[in-house]
Chain A
Amino acid sequence: MSAKVQVQTTINNEPVEFLCEPRQSLLECLRDIVGLTGTKEGCGDGNCGSCTVKLGDRIVTSCLVLGVEAAGESITTVEGLAHGSTLHPLQKAFLDHAALQCGICTPGFLIAADALLQKHPHPTEEQTRFWLSNNLCRCTGYDKIIRAVQAAAIEINGAAQ
């Protein structure tokens, strides 16, 4: 086994240090070492998007990032969306629109949708569907997720001009 590496990073605006093997993915580090189990593992090869986190200024599948690569970076996971007991507008919209059933894909969709709304305050349906094409959901058929994201866009950014 290779020597473990000390990683200093920022997760959900808090400085975090953890010790990991170089081969461990960021996903494993978040879940098994740091104890943030909101991020889910689906396919493990970057196709399903359930392990999506924000890394710096973009979103990534954390199964395809090494934990050691998080050094000096800033990471946002689904645990970073709500303010205390107040849900993020996206989380509330997902509940209101029944945009989840089993819930495994939901943390990834929420993080990806949050990044979308930061880049495009009022995304079109087409923009939303293409942006979320790296996130798979086997329950909802996607329409409810798209409607929830569009409702959250209005809640967060007001009606489109």
Chain B
Amino acid sequence: MKAFDYAAPASLPEAVGLLASQPSARLLAGGTDLLVQLRSGRKEADVVIDVKKIPELNEIAFSPAGGLTIGAAVPCYRLTADASIQSHYPALVEVASWIGGTQIQGRASLGGNLCNSAPSADSIPLLIALGASALIAGPAGSRSVPVEDFCTAPGRNQLAPGELLVSIQIPPPAPFSGAAYLRFIPRNEMDIAVVGAGAAVTLSNGVIAGARIALSSVAPTPLYVPAAGESLVNQMPTAEALETAAKIAQEAASPISDMRGSAAYRRHLCAVMVRRALELAVARALEIN
């Protein structure tokens, strides 16, 4: 690995200042992507800035009115152990326990998953379905971006030079709402999704009042399909209605063929995984409340 300097700023302003003065800096949270990329030469850095000492990037905060804030560097094993996330966002616990294995979850963060911006990122379809936004800090202050707009191409995202992701903010769960992320992998764990589907639904008197659906591994970025969720609004959550939404999501996908599956197979899986994710989300909306 090429030599670099190491800095661990203790505050957000310090980190933003350091980032502004070091154009070739790379940000280190859990390092499960970055250190592999630096070692292989795919990325280079003169300075590695460890963001784990910055309080805002390390917090988990939940309030019934404000929802959930997950600091960008919070590792998955803290999310799965958090009582408020367990009770209000069970799908988030599942996704955090599916990213890598136990050791990877000891380091990897959802913020890192978002910033690595892989088309196959497991957490992003669920974050989109949950209506999450990304809080970004930079030299010009802070701004918030819906997660569905964050990734722009494989490995690329909205972060401008000098900016960093501070946290992911998720709205409070509405009454009678439920969410799920499911992925298809040939193994039981430690694998990259052939197709992943995130879904969230809110019911009102047994009728779907709102739904959001997103996919991974079927487009250059994690893919939000607003039309799929909109097709469910004012519908009863019947098998036919969920199937129609799944077909709309399938139509929006533009998968490629690679070692993990052919485009045709992925397209088939899109409808299956979206339907199953919707079924689980509906079941949770009915049981949680």
Contact = CB atoms under 8 A, between A and B. Distances in A.
A58 to B, nearest CB: 4
B38, B107, B188 — most chain A CB neighbours (10 Å): B107
A58 B106 contact: yes
Contacts, number: 88
B101 A133 contact: yes
Interface in B1-54: 1-6, 28, 30-32, 35-36, 38-40, 48, 50, 52
A66, A130, A131 — most chain B CB neighbours (10 Å): A66
A132 B32 CA distance: 18
Contacts of B101: 49, 133-135
B3 A2 contact: yes
Chain B contact-residue range equals 20 to 34
B2, B6, B28 — most chain A CB neighbours (10 Å): B6
B189 A133 contact: yes
Nearest to A129: B188
B210 interface: no
A20 B5 CA distance: 11
A160 to B, nearest CB: 21
Chain A contact-residue range equals 20 to 34
A134 B103 CA distance: 7
Interface of B: 1-6, 28, 30-32, 35-36, 38-40, 48, 50, 52, 75, 77, 100-107, 188-190
A46 interface: yes
Contact of B50 (A69, A130, A134): A69
B4, B40, B102, B188 — most chain A CB neighbours (10 Å): B102
A45 B103 contact: no
B31 A65 contact: yes
B106 to A, nearest CB: 4
13 contacts: A2-B3, A22-B3, A22-B4, A23-B3, A44-B39, A46-B100, A58-B75, A58-B106, A66-B48, A69-B52, A132-B102, A133-B101, A133-B102
